[in-house]
Amino acid sequence: MFGKSITLFKLLGFRVQIDSSWLLLAALVVWSLAEGVFPSLHEGHSTLTYWALGVLGALGLFLSLILHELSHSIVARRRGMPIRGITLFIFGGVAHMEDEPPSAKTEFLMAVAGPLASVAIAVCLYVGYLAGVAAGLPDHVLDLPYYLAFINVVLAGFNLLPAFPLDGGRVFRALLWRWKGDIRGATRIAASVGSAFGIALVGVGVLAFFTGNFVGGFWWFLIGLFLRGAARSSYQQLLTRQVLEGEPVRRFMVSEPKTVDPDLSIEDLVEDYIYRYHHDVFPVTDGSRLVGCIGVPQLREIPRSEWGERRVEDHLVPCSDANTISADSDAVKALSVMSRTGNSRLMITEGDRLVGIVALKDLLQLLSVKIDLNDIK
């Protein structure tokens, strides 16, 4: 779903990031506000005024999305669910959960928190707008809280559509889950409804495009494609967790992985290991002691002309929770670490000793086999 993310800051212990796609959205929002929305509300102001309002409106939307997602995260944390952070992307935002909600009640409370936060923001902004009117503030100043109040109502309304994984779809799943007592069945139905909504929005976009509304049709088309893809992806993620949950990492590990010495040259590492075994990461051991790992991401930073002079020990990545895991850990945890860090291989350790390697492809291979055999509890 996401491309490269940029970390902005931490808020209440949550890491706030923006996906690179959000920069495109920000530019489009500023342009549409400066050239369309604010001039249509009140004419006669300077171009600079409208562009200043456009920038402030985009910042207000940015803060509104953060508060919307932050409300989900706060409720999740209070209900005992770990949240890695918040990412804003081209169609809104998402709070990164490390697991599915433990109960239908938790799912429901988390889902409704976002729209309620957006409605509360809209009410506060509209009260501010009315206070500004009473105080006789200039119309172009009042346009900003008026627009932001309106957009927060739209944000709440859109998210309440019963299309999973939107907030309304999550409420729908929570009700189905509570009724049926089966999260997989509830997710399958909710994801099917979400996918249908996505297809419908694609159709709306195509119709709008052929009736002359090119910009609106383009956006509805993209939102529909995204919603359909997100619904299917969410269901697949649940299946993945159910397949791997309770499976120890040791079941998937290679117990005698290829290792490299710290004093090996980068050139020999590439020629004798990476090109020969086709792995993108190798453990680095000093005798029986694991000291870290090295792989393609580190090699990209070294000029090709210096490969013969440089040594592995100068560029290795030390052992940490991002690249190591214990053999008795749940495979779901390994998958979560891989997803969070982008590492496709994790080193299995006992103390400072390497006992194996687990690779993403091995986890996915079991997933594929179990789905083919319909062996999912």
Which of the residues are catalytic?
69
Output the pLDDT for position 4: 61
Q: What's the rounded mean pLDDT across residues 88-107? A: 72
Q: Tokens 């928190």 map to which residue?
A: 113
Q: What's the rounded mean pLDDT across residues 351-356? A: 84
Question: CB neighbours of 186 closer than 8 A, spacing ≥ 6?
Answer: 173, 174, 176, 177, 180
Question: CB neighbours of 137 closer than 8 A, spacing ≥ 6?
Answer: none
Output the pLDDT for position 153: 94
Q: Give the three-state DSSP class for 98.
A: coil
214/79: higher pLDDT: 79
Output the pLDDT for position 370: 67
Using CA atoms, how far apart are residues 291 and 285, in angstroms rounded to an integer?
6
Q: What's the rounded mean pLDDT across residues 37-45? A: 82
Domains of the chain with CATH codes: 5-244 (no CATH), 249-372 (3.10.580.10)
Taking the model in full, what pTM does it have?
Answer: 0.70
Q: What's the rounded mean pLDDT across residues 344-351? A: 85
Least confidently predicted of 72-86, 142-156, 310-324:
72-86
DSSP secondary-structure letter at 261? -
Q: Give the three-state DSSP class for 248.
A: strand
Q: What's the rounded mean pLDDT across residues 134-145? A: 87
pLDDT digits (tens, 9 = 90+) for 169-211: 889 989 998 888 888 788 888 888 888 988 998 898 889 888 8
Output the pLDDT for position 51: 92
